[in-house]
Amino acid sequence: MRLLPLCLLLPLPLWSADPILEPPTSAPGNYSRLATGHFGAVEEGAVIARGFGPEAAWFNPAGLAHEHRTTLSGNASLFERVDMEVSGDSSSTPSSALGMYPVFVGNSFPLVEPEEGRPWVLGLALVTTESWNQKVSLDVEVDEGGGLSRTVSFDNSSEVTGLVPTVALGVQWNEHWSFGANLRVQYSSYEVLANGSQRVLDADRAPVFSQSSNSSLDLSVWQASAGLGVQYRPTEHWRFGLMANTPSWQIAGDGDAKFDLFFSTQAVIADGRLRANDFDVEVKQPWSVGIGAAYVAESWEFESDLLVFGDPGSYSLFEYDSDLVLTVRETGSGNVTTVNEAIPAATSNSQATYIASLGGRFHLNERYALHGGMSYNRSPTDSSSGENAFRDVDLWSLSLGASRSTDAVSTVLGGRVSWGEDRDILVEDLIGDDQQLASLEYLILSLTFSTAYRF
């Protein structure tokens, strides 16, 4: 969000700060970024056509009906290392973070046994869709011409969490067809802190202009959505799946924001302050449709999935309920001017996107199997807007794992690597009005563990 109208009211040079009032999160904006599910975590989620048991409550509830025993399942990220490197014109700043968190906990309960009629199975799940805690920094020096140079520094600390309680129901209609439905309630929280500074120096390296700013943004949102799923098994080996989810509808959303600004030139010294509490927040999740096709042989199975997300369009995320109050003192005359500036609403500019995945397993014997998968997760965000700087990253992921299964217990251990880059971050999106480019690279390594117990 920019303050150009305000800057035009003040005796400031054109290259003066146009500070950001919505500190951007560094978490990638990609849907379904985390490795989720018992087998889905090591097969890149390519289980729309084959998935069964508790994880089907999330991927395709039609698969619930193919597990006829009560089953408790869960998977967690035992270790996740996130490496980010932000490169500017004159610097390269790496950062790393370690994490450990549960991703999926689920249970499936047969309501009607096969011998009593069509099998009906209830599924419950709690899914972590995002767990992110990272700090990034950027330092850039820009030649302004005319003997002037500008240095820009930016620090961003982001903590993002997404939790989705899910209830689902599946039925096996006959030997070929099964159907299911689910209801998801999603809680999302965003906590972002950002510090920025810049200085403009003349040819003698004397300061002509300086600015510093501190901002924080704390948002929380509750949403709900519903989905319908189908699995079709025309032959012993071929399996097909279809899953459709509705757009989300808002339950509640609120936020708090704080912003402090100080800048000085040879003519003026100014400071600004914004405090906004309990303002309304709205986040729209788009519709999605997933299709999958699988071939299951005696010792191996393979699936290809495509998950498409709609375009929620441009809409207002939130609007501050307070103005920015800026106090300006002219150094020569000592005159003091106070300006109240209304801040325009923050907007979201997501776009339609998709996730393509391949996954499968090879059974070494009755108890042991090897698993693997690969996926391409195209970003739904656009880095041309300030609130999405750092977030426009297309992610490639590769998973490998091994499992041991008995009649009652199944355990899976796997590893995953994800990588991507965004080479079109504008420094303008972070602080200032220059079109200097920066780039961002991600490398995410994780170790996952899953277990399931059949009663």
pLDDT score for 315: 84
Using only the alpha carbons of the chain, give its radius of gyration. Answer: 26
Euclidean distance between CA atoms 434 and 174, whole angstroms: 63
Which residue in 402, 303, 401, 313 sits closest to 356, CA to CA?
A: 303
Euclidean distance between CA atoms 350 and 352, whole angstroms: 7
Is the model's pLDDT at 14 over the cut of 70? no
Coil vs helix vs strand at 107: strand
How high is the mean pLDDT of the chain?
A: 84
Euclidean distance between CA atoms 179 and 162, whole angstroms: 27
Would you mind telling me the total number of residues written for the chain in this entry?
Answer: 455
Which residue in 435, 368, 379, 374 sits closest to 402, CA to CA?
A: 368
Q: Which helix H or strand E contains 6, and what residues bound it? A: helix 4-7
Which residue in 222, 212, 224 sits closest to 255, CA to CA?
A: 222
Q: Is 328:7 a contact under the CB 8 Å cutoff?
A: no
Which residue in 169, 184, 293 sits closest to 231, CA to CA?
A: 293
Is the model's pLDDT at 433 over the cut of 60? no
Distance of alpha carbon 24 from the chain centroid? 12
pLDDT score for 439: 67
The CB-side HSE value for 236 (13 A sphere, CA atoms) comes to: 2
pLDDT tens, position by position, 334-363:
889 888 888 878 887 788 999 999 999 999
pLDDT tens, position by position, 290-317:
999 999 999 999 999 999 999 988 888 8
Is the model's pLDDT at 165 over the cut of 70? yes
Confidence of residue 390 (pLDDT cuts 50, 70, 90): low
Euclidean distance between CA atoms 35 and 47, whole angstroms: 12
Full set of structural domains in the chain with CATH: 4-454 (2.40.160.60)
Euclidean distance between CA atoms 311 and 298, whole angstroms: 41
Residues 33, 37, 41, 44, CA torsion sign = negative
pLDDT tens, position by position, 233-268:
999 999 999 999 999 999 999 999 998 888 888 788
Euclidean distance between CA atoms 152 and 137, whole angstroms: 11
The set of residues, in sequence order, having a beta carbon less than 8 Å from that of 314 and lying 6+ positions away, is: 347, 348, 349
pLDDT score for 6: 33
pTM over 0.75: yes
pLDDT score for 83: 78
Is the model's pLDDT at 161 over the cut of 70? yes
Name the E strands within 310-364: 315-318, 324-330, 336-341, 346-348, 353-363
Pick from 20-29, 235-244, 416-425 the range whose average pLDDT is largest.
235-244
pLDDT score for 39: 95
Q: Is 169:149 a contact under the CB 8 Å cutoff?
A: no
Average pLDDT on 264-276 reads 86
Of the ranges 138-147, 243-252, 317-326, which one carries the lowest mean pLDDT score? 138-147
Confidence of residue 91 (pLDDT cuts 50, 70, 90): low
